Structure 1
Amino acid sequence: MGEPEVMRAVRITGHGGPEVLERAEVAVPAPRAGEVLVRVGAVALNNTDLWTREGAYGRQGDPEALSGWRGPIAFPRIQGADVAGRTVAVGDGVDTGLVGRRVVVDPAVYDGEGPDANPVGLMGSERDGGYAEYVTAPATRVHDVTDSPLTDDQLATLPTAYGTALGMIERGRLREGEAVLVSGASGGVGIALIQLARARGARVLAVSSGSKIDAVREAGAHDVLDRARDIAGQIRAAAPEGIDVALDVVAGQLVGDALPLLREGGRWVVAGALGGYDVAFDVRRLYLHNAQVIGSAMHTPAHFALLMDLARRGGIRPVVAATFPLDQAARAQEELARRVHVGKIVLHPWEESTAGARG
């Protein structure tokens, strides 16, 4: 196939801190029937990288258990869900016309083949991911973005953050003219939610911290609420008639405080638990107002196809906060965990290590 037999990769050998990330030289994976081999141009980091490494997802009936996204992880595991690159080889039964094309990989492992299939696994968790020079993927999950005006770095920010955001917006049935609350607004998913909600014509109320408020406003939020102050009071002041949809990656106390501020028939969509998974709210505010609490994990194939259409048109402009060479993956994850950046952190598998990150 003209590619090397060995590649550099970074993988986790067990659950723990950044020290469990190890550099390794491993065999370049061979694409099986129905798969393609992608030379990774850029791979973006996500909170799921941290939580998978830490085993922070818990298990049904045992919320404190060390676990990956959907159960035990097979170690060693190459992390990295968000890959942009170029197809360099194909397995049996795959159109050879894909070779040489610029692509983004849909990282989800689905429970079926239909457009509304549910994600039940994730590249970098249930299968090896893009913290490597090459990665394989099913040909059906590789999207040709050769003509996109976005850079590889920008394209790599899309799959998990923007896919999750679009899944939340679609499941929450956000419509033009509605008022939407976005929590965790300075993170990768938060910035994506702001941009996508604005593009849909919604009025965006974003929750962030003092040092990031200007950047969140620049991303397109109409109103930015300081999470260090009384959030419910700020929502009432900014949207006296209430909010139609909450797009929430924080959960915790925010749900109990702000759920009563949903309008009739409002939807509260949860896709994360940065503020804590143990939630309490007044259930009367739910059923008396025909409100809904909706869980949203990633996206469907149909959602991802919509996202790739946006990428080809350059209809979104992702924010890249910093880049690191692959061998500084542990440092990049530490930077992500500090949560001082706005936008996404990206690794370059083919870049040699230098003095530090560029951002």
Structure 2
Amino acid sequence: MNSMPKKMKGIQLIGHGDTEMLQYREDIAVPTPAKNEVLIKVSAAGVNNTDINTRTAWYSKGAGDTDDASWSGNALTFPRIQGADVCGVIVAVGDGVSDSRIGERVLVEPCLREAKGKVLETPWYFGSECDGGFAEYTLVATKHAYAIKSSFSDVELASFPCSYSTAENMLTRANVTAQDTVLISGASGGVGSAAIQLAKARGASVIAITSPSKNDQLLALGADQVIARNADLVDALGENSIDVVIDLVAGEQWPQFLQLLKPGSRYAVSGAIGGALVELDIRTLYLKDLSFFGCTVLEPEVFKNLVQRIERQEIQPVVAESFPLDAMNAAQDMFLKKQHVGKIVLEVC
């Protein structure tokens, strides 16, 4: 650590609210790795829904109360450096970590089961319960820093961790196979576009829901069929036509998903950008023997499998745009317009 700078550039979230709560600074202390931790020099970091949801306290279920506004349902600690998607290089290690890891190019697993030298009872999210990647340097437990050998650029690799691990986890939990027809909502976003590729890698048939302007891009990613997001899904596809729904939207259209699902089929959810409150006829759930999967914490094998798929180039990065670190507000503005396909990434170093 003797050759490490003492200060770094980064974006600090100083409270819940609008983008004025994001402050770009050049005087943040460079962290020191503790036991079983590695210090990563961040090359690039992706922008996600969870960054905005955390900033605006969207995760809080109490009106005006932010005591449960973090990803894990607790109060957020400020200032906080966000950023769950990290590609970088290990530049220092703490006690218990081999010096041979220094110099490794790594991706950070965003769902943390270990932090600050201890196993966590409730998993954390990188950039929520602890500082993340919107800075020149970041810390993580060595077990969550996965070495990656790839010809993809740092910006391209930073598009993978959060979105693709979320999608891979949903497909894993729902046990998607080559025999399945999979319907994906919000298919043009980071997780949705990842789910298209990962479902196709399993040999499944994929139907993607998006706006018509993005049809060609999603077909190019591998979708077998594209449906407009304002369409009557039951009229378009027919009742009992889908084996698995991968849902990132929820909202008013949600009851149609249950009509589409075959008896004995599966529904997995990891987002609610269309509205968190939905209407469920419980009779449909039990009379059709449906299985529901709420997907947040990654299954233990998911990130390792994802890294292997990247290295084998079974999936491709989808980067809509990259911005410098100090252009965070512009990056989030573009993100919120929802006109892009794939990921928006910050170039850090």
Q: Normalising by the residue count of structure 1, what TM-score does the alignment of the two structures yield?
A: 0.91
- Deviations 1:151-201 (CA, angstroms, capped at 9, x unpaired): 211211111100000000011111112111000000000000000000101
In structure 2, the residue matched to 1:357 is none
Aligned to 2:253, what secondary structure does the other structure show? helix
- Deviations 1:233-292 (CA, angstroms, capped at 9, x unpaired): 2222xxx65100000000122221221221121111111001111111222211111111
- Higher mean alpha-carbon deviation, 301-310 vs 76-85, is at 301-310
Matching of residue 89 in structure 1 with residue 89 in structure 2: no
In structure 2, the residue matched to 1:131 is 134
Does the 8 A contact of 1:150 with 1:311 survive in 2?
A: no
Measure the CA separation in 2 of the matches of 1:256 and 1:118.
35
Aligned to 2:309, what secondary structure does the other structure show? helix
Measure the CA separation in 1 of the matches of 2:245 and 2:253.
10
In structure 2, the residue matched to 1:341 is 340
Does the 8 A contact of 2:266 with 2:290 survive in 1?
A: yes
Matching of residue 201 in structure 1 with residue 203 in structure 2: yes
Letter in 2 for 1:95: S
Measure the CA separation in 1 of the matches of 2:284 and 2:197.
29
In structure 2, the residue matched to 1:354 is none
Does the 8 A contact of 1:119 with 1:299 survive in 2?
A: no
Measure the CA separation in 1 of the matches of 2:158 and 2:87.
5
Indicate which of 83, 90, 105 corresponds to 2:108. Answer: 105
Q: Normalising by the residue count of structure 2, what TM-score does the alignment of the two structures yield?
A: 0.94
C-alpha displacement of 1:314? 2.0
C-alpha displacement of 1:299? 1.7
- Higher mean alpha-carbon deviation, 177-186 vs 289-298, is at 289-298
Matching of residue 49 in structure 1 with residue 48 in structure 2: no
Unaligned 5+ runs, structure 2: none
Aligned to 1:301, what secondary structure does the other structure show? coil
Cα 1:334–1:298 change in 2 (3 A) is farther
What is the aligned residue count?
A: 340
Give the 4+ runs in structure 1 shifted more than 3 A.
Answer: 63-66
In structure 1, the residue matched to 2:287 is 288
Unaligned 5+ runs, structure 1: 351-359
- Deviations 1:277-330 (CA, angstroms, capped at 9, x unpaired): 111122221111111121011522311111111122222101011000000111
Cα 1:214–1:298 change in 2 (3 A) is farther
In structure 2, the residue matched to 1:261 is 260
Measure the CA separation in 2 of the matches of 1:303 and 1:334.
31
- Higher mean alpha-carbon deviation, 73-82 vs 1-10, is at 1-10
Aligned to 2:254, what secondary structure does the other structure show? helix
Measure the CA separation in 2 of the matches of 1:300 and 1:110.
11
Measure the CA separation in 2 of the matches of 1:263 and 1:289.
7
Q: CA RMSD for the aligned pairs?
A: 1.7
Measure the CA separation in 1 of the matches of 2:84 and 2:216.
29
Aligned to 2:195, what secondary structure does the other structure show? helix
In structure 2, the residue matched to 1:356 is none
Letter in 2 for 1:230: D
Letter in 2 for 1:50: I
% identical equivalent positions? 42
Measure the CA separation in 2 of the matches of 1:281 and 1:51.
24
In structure 2, the residue matched to 1:355 is none
Aligned to 2:218, what secondary structure does the other structure show? helix
In structure 2, the residue matched to 1:227 is 229
Letter in 2 for 1:15: H
Measure the CA separation in 2 of the matches of 1:181 and 1:87.
39
Does the 8 A contact of 1:154 with 1:320 survive in 2?
A: yes
